[in-house]
Amino acid sequence: MIEIKEIAMNYGNFPALSGINLTIGDGSVYGLIGSNGSGKSTLLRLLCGVYAPGNGQILYDGQSVWENDKVKRRVVYLSDEQYFFPHSSMAQMADFYASVYSCFSYPRFEELAKRFCLDTGRKINTFSKGMMKQAAIVLALACDTAYILCDETFDGLDPVVRHSVKSIIAEEVACRSLTVVLASHNLRELEDICDHIVLLHRGSVVLEADIDDVKMNLHKVQTVLPQNANLNGVDIVSRSDRGSLSTMIIKGRRGHIESYFEVMNPKFFEIIPLTLEEIFITEMEEAGYELTESL
| Pair 84, 138: CB distance under 8 Å | no
Q: How confident is residue 186, by pLDDT bands cut at 50, 70 and 90?
A: confident
Q: Of 1.10.8.420, 3.10.20.90, 3.40.250.10, 3.40.50.300, which CATH number belongs to 2-210?
A: 3.40.50.300
Give the burial class of 262: count Cβ atoms within 10 A of its Cβ; 0-12 exposed, 13-18 middle, 19 or more buried.
exposed
Contact partners, residue 151, CB within 8 Å, separation at least 6: 40, 41, 44, 77, 78, 79, 80, 183
Alpha carbon 100 to its chain centroid, in Å, reads 26
Q: Tens of pLDDT along 227-238?
A: 888 999 999 998
In the chain, where are the structural domains located? 2-210, 217-286
Is residue 125 very low, low, confident or very high in pLDDT (cuts 50, 70, 90)? very high
Q: If pLDDT is split at 50, 70 and 90, which confidence band does 278 have? A: confident
DSSP, collapsed to helix, strand or coil, labels residue 192 as coil
pLDDT at 287 over 70: no
Residues of the chain with pLDDT > 90, as a percent, come to 70
Q: Per-residue pLDDT for 293 more than 60?
A: no
- pLDDT: is 185 or 63 the higher one? 63
- pLDDT at 91 exceeding the cut of 90: yes
pLDDT of amino acid 294: 44
Q: Which CATH number is 217-286's, of 1.25.40, 1.20.950, 3.30.70, 1.10.150? A: 3.30.70
Closest by CA position to 141, among listed 163, 108, 174, 171: 108
